[in-house]
Amino acid sequence: MSKPIDRTHKERRTGLRFMLTYVKPHRSTFMLIFICTLLGISADLLQPYLVKIVIDDVLTKPGHDIRLLFVIGGSYIGLSVLSFVFTYVQDNLLQHVGQNIVVRIRKDLFRHISNLSMSFFDRRPLGALVTNVSSDTETVNQFFTNISLSLMRDGITLLLIIAMMLKLDAVLALYSMILIPVIAGIAIGFRPMLRKTYEQTRLQLSRLISFLAENLAGMNIIQVFHQEKKQLDKYTKLNRLNLEVNFTKHRTTIYFNRTFEFLGNLALAFLVWAGGMAVFNHSLEVGVLFAFITYIRQFFQPIIQITQQWDKLQSATVSMDRLWQVFSIRPEVMDPRLENRKDIVLSDIKGRVDFENVCFGYTDGIDVISNLNLQIKSGEIIGIVGETGAGKSSILNMLGRFYDIRSGSIRIDGIDIRDIPQATLHRIIGFVQQDPHLYSGSILENVRLFNSAIPREEVIQACKFVGLDPFLQRLNQGYDTQLSERGGGLSAGERQLLSLARIVVYQPKLLILDEATAHLDSHTEQMVQNALQHLTTGRTTLVVAHRISTIIDADRIMVMKQGRIVEVGSHQELLARRGYYAMLYKQSLGKNEKKDSVAVSKEKGEGSVLVTC
Ligand SMILES: Nc1ncnc2c1ncn2[C@@H]1O[C@H](COP(=O)(O)OP(=O)(O)O)[C@@H](O)[C@H]1O
Ligand SMILES: [Mg+2]
C-alpha cells in the first residue's frame, strides 16, 4: 500500500496523468461510484417523465384511472428514495477514496522531499515547499472529492437529458441543441483567461506563504536589524497583490457563469414560445412540453456546474503540475545502485577516511574545494582551521554526502561513500553543528530522535555525561519538557549540549564537529571539551574549530585557505614552520587575550590574562 511509486520512466508525464497513477489502485471503487452515479441520475431524470405520463395519459384523457395516479405517485417517491440512496453511497465512497489518495500523495511527497539533496533546499524557498505540501495537495483533494464527481455526474446528466429530450420530441430537442456550439465557443473563449487568473492567484498565494514562512523563521534577524517596518511594507504589498488577483479571478468567474445563466433563460423563453405554439396547434402534448421545460432547466444546471468546476479544475491541474514538478526532481545525491552497493556491518567499521583528488563546488564552474588529498587513520583526531569561507564546512558536508563531489573520491575504510547507502553512512557519521536543529517534542525525544528503542535511562546517562543534566533539572518537567520547533526554551549552549548527547546515544564511528562549541561560554565549553575528550577517544574525529585553542591537542591540524590544504601537521610542527598556521594562531591568541582579559576583568576586577594552550 505505501510502496513508493516508481517514476523512472514516467518523467515526461503531465501532472494529471501522474495523478492517475494514484487512482489506479482504486479502479474498482471508482467503477462502483460510476454505477451509483448513473443509477442515481437515472432515478432523478425519470421523475419528470412520470409527471408527463400523469398529464398526458391520466389527467387529459377522458375516463382516467385514478389508481394509475397512485401507482405513479408511489413510483415517484420510490425514485426519489433510490436517487437519495445511490447519491449517498456514491458520495461516501468518493470521499473515502479521495481522502485516501491525498494522504498517500502527501506521504510520498514528504518522503520524496526528505530524500532530496541539500542543493535542492539551497535553491528552493521554504515557503514554496510548504505550499506544495499543504495547499497544492488540498486542491488535489478537492479534485478527487468534488471536481471529478461533478464533472462525471454532470456529464452523465447532460447525456441522459439529451437522450430523454430526443425521445420525447426530436425536433424540439434538435432546436435546443443549436445552443451547444454557442456554449462550447464561449467556454473555449474563456478558457485561457480563466487559466491565467487561476495561475496568478495560486502564484500570489504561494509568494505570500513563502514570505511568511521565511520571515517567521528569521524573525530574530529581522528584529535585530530593525527591519520590521520594511518587511511589513513588503508583506502589505504582497497581500494587496493577492487581493487584486483574487478580485480579478472572481470577476472573470462571475462573467463566465452569468453568461451561461443568461443563455439558459434565453433557451427557456424560446422553448415556452415554440413549445406553446405547438401545443396550441395540437402538434405537441402538454405533458411533453412540461417534461421538456423541466429537462431544459436541468440541462443548463449541469452546464453551469461543469463550467463552475472548470475553473477549479484549472487550479487543480496547476497544482498537479506543480506537485509533479517537485516529484520529478531527482535527488542529486543518489543511493548506490544495487550492483555497486556495499553492505556494511556497522560494528566492523574502523573509521579510516581517504580524500583523493577531491574537487567540489556548489554552483557550476566555481570550485570551492580543489584537488584535496588527505588520509585520516582510524581513530585519528583532525583539527581543521582556516578563515571564514576557506571551505572547512564544505569538507564536512562532502563527507556526510549532503553534496556530491565533482571528481575524485572519498572513502571510508576503503569503500567509496557513494557505494554506501545514505542511511548507513549517516549511522556511521555523527554530526554536531553550530546550530543544531531541534524538533517539536520532548527533550527526551530530541535526544533519541524519536527512536523509542533507546531507553530513557540511556538518554539520561548521556545528558549527565555531556553535562546537560543539571540544566534540565531546573526545568519543571525535566526530560519531558516540550520544545518548540526551533528549540525554544533552551539556550544555544544547551542546544549544543543536547546535540552532543545525541552523539553519546547513537555512538557513531566517525565524529564530525563544525564549530560545535561556538555558542558556549568558557565554563560550559570546558565541560564540553571534557565530554569530547571521552567521545573522541578511539573514534575518528574531524573538528572544525572556531578557536584554535580548542584543537591544539588534535593529532593533526589541517590548515585551509581558499579551498586548498596549505599546511598539515601537529600544532608544534606547524608552529615550528612559522607559516600560515603560525600567523593564524598568533592572531587568535591576540583575540583570546583581549576576550579573556575583558571577561576576567569584568568578573574579578583584575587584568590577568588566561590563555589555555
Ligand atoms: N550552500 C551553498 N551554496 C553555495 N555556496 C556555498 C554554500 N555553502 C558555502 N558556500 C560557499 O563555499 C565557500 C566555502 O564555504 P564553507 O565551506 O562554508 O566555509 P567555512 O566553513 O570554511 O567558513 C564559501 O565561499 C561559501 O560562500
Ligand atoms: Mg563553516
Residue-range domains of the chain with CATH:
15-327 (1.20.1560.10), 346-604 (3.40.50.300)
pLDDT confidence tier of residue 460, bands split at 50, 70 and 90: very high
- List all residues whose CB is within 6 A of at least one atom of ligand 1: 122, 362-363, 368, 386, 388-394
**Ligand 1: residue whose CA is nearest its atom 24:** 389
Average pLDDT over residues 276-283: 89
Read off the C-alpha cell for 328. Answer: 520529478
Nearest ligand 1 atom, CA 390: 22
pTM over 0.75: no
| Sequence-separated (6 or more) residues with CB below 8 Å from residue 288 | 52, 56, 168, 169
Are 542 and 354 a contacting pair, CB within 8 Å? no
**Ligand 1: residue whose CA is nearest its atom 9:** 394
User: Which H or E run includes 313?
Assistant: helix 286-327
Ligand 1 pocket test target in 368, 546, 560 with most atoms within 8 Å of CB: 368
pLDDT at 242: 93
**Quick check: 593 pLDDT over 70?**
no
Nearest ligand, CA of residue 398? 1
- Residue 119 CA to residue 129 CA, distance in Å, equals 14
**Residue type for position 17:** R
Nearest ligand, CA of residue 388? 1
Nearest ligand, CA of residue 559? 1
Residue 391 Cα, ligand 1 centroid: separation in angstroms? 6
- Residue 234 CA to residue 226 CA, distance in Å, equals 14
Nearest ligand, CA of residue 397? 1
Question: Which pLDDT tens digit goes with each residue over 161-173?
Answer: 999 889 888 888 8
Rg (CA), the chain: 36
Residue 389 Cα, ligand 1 centroid: separation in angstroms? 6
Question: Which pLDDT tens digit goes with each residue over 382-439?
Answer: 999 998 899 999 999 899 888 989 999 999 999 999 999 888 888 899 888 877 778 8
pLDDT confidence tier of residue 596, bands split at 50, 70 and 90: very low
pLDDT confidence tier of residue 613, bands split at 50, 70 and 90: very low
Which residues of 246-366 form beta strands (DSSP E)? 353-360
Which range is least confidently modeled, 47-56, 137-146, 483-492, 537-546? Answer: 483-492
pLDDT confidence tier of residue 580, bands split at 50, 70 and 90: very high
Residue 389 Cα, ligand 2 centroid: separation in angstroms? 7
Ligand 1 pocket test target in 359, 393, 558, 560 with most atoms within 8 Å of CB: 393
**Ligand 1: residue whose CA is nearest its atom 20:** 389
- Quick one: how far is CA 348 from the chain centroid? 37
**Ligand 1: residue whose CA is nearest its atom 6:** 362
Question: Which pLDDT tens digit goes with each residue over 522-557?
Answer: 777 787 778 788 888 888 999 998 788 888 888 999
Nearest ligand 1 atom, CA 392: 22
Sign of CA dihedral 409, 411, 416, 418: negative
pLDDT at 450: 82
**Ligand 1: residue whose CA is nearest its atom 1:** 122
Average pLDDT over residues 223-235: 86
